[in-house]
Amino acid sequence: MKLYAYCLASGIDSLPQPVQGISAAPVRLLKVENLVVLVSDLDTDAVSVTRENALTHAAVVRSVLDQTTPLPFRFGTLVTEQQLTNYISARKPALETKLETVRGCVEMSVKIIWDFSGHDQPEPPQKYQENEQGAGALFLAEKRREILGDERRAAHASEISTWLQENLNALARDKMVTVRPEGKLVLSAAHLVERSKIGQYRAKVEQLRADRPELHFLLSGPWPPYSFANVELEFKSQFGVS
């Protein structure tokens, strides 16, 4: 028998209502010193990556979000009770610090799609003769065009990222921003926002959306702080759970 771990939390003694977990197994609280882990007992060595299981994992983590801010475990974390207890006991100070960081907060997410095609600019002239070029020189000229285009995209993406951060950082305790100039989904940002500031955060994003109509926004949340947990990394290195 193994334990499927959903999330780690503090400050709760019981679940607000009975919760059904992966494979319809009941969810219970496993207390380790002053921390608790939401777990289900499962008689299996692996959990299938299915939509149903992923949604169940998310629903269990979310079930305590009104009471506290948990640190979600990575989907598929299946360990013995002894492993889990040892892990928490050994890492307690670090886990408490992490819980303190997310305390009172939720994760809000902003994603931005752009259309860069309208930003093509004339290239600066080449410093060498274009006439009488062979296949090799033409190949390099084409590469030059590609590289200049990539640099323009990267600069524009960076400007969008800076603009977003200047406007939202004051409302966030922490942030995780990924910028991908090569794709249409140019920016994905997760912000750790205090619950009392969710309204302000939404209003600010709405204003930003109006300021830059050429960018397409997706705002979502509040979520448990999946992007700020990082519990799975230590867990993976300790138990090889992936």
Partner 1 sequence: MEQSPENPLSAEPAIETSHVDEFVEQLRCVTDTLPSRINIDAQSVEQGLAKLVLTLIEFIRRLLEKQAVRRMEGGDLSPEQIEELGLALMKLEAKLQELKTQFGLADDDLNLDLGPIGRLI
Contact 160, 112 (CB under 8 A): yes
Contacting residue, 90, 137, 170, 203, with partner 1 by CB under 8 A? 137
- CA–CA separation, 50 vs 47, rounded Å? 9
Closer to partner 1 by Cβ: residue 93 or 124: 124
The one-letter amino acid at 131: N
Closer to partner 1 by Cβ: residue 30 or 221: 221
Residue 239 as a binder of partner 1 (CB under 8 A): the answer is no
Contacting residue, 45, 49, 166, 240, with partner 1 by CB under 8 A? 49
Residue 223 as a binder of partner 1 (CB under 8 A): the answer is yes
Residues belonging to the chain: 242
Residue 89 as a binder of partner 1 (CB under 8 A): the answer is no
The two tokens of residue 37 are 């882990």
Contact 142, 126 (CB under 8 A): no
Stretch that binds partner 1, among 30-38, 79-87, 126-134, 161-169 (CB under 8 A): 126-134
Distance set, CA 11 to CA 37, 103, 127, 145, 216 (Å): 11, 10, 67, 58, 39
Closer to partner 1 by Cβ: residue 24 or 49: 49
The two tokens of residue 187 are 């920016």
What's the distance, CA 103 to chain centroid? 17
140-179 residues in contact with partner 1 (CB under 8 A) are 140, 143-144, 147, 176, 178-179
Binding site for partner 1 (CB under 8 A): 11-12, 49, 62, 65-69, 103-104, 106, 111, 113, 126-129, 132-140, 143-144, 147, 176, 178-180, 183-185, 195-196, 198, 202, 216-223, 242
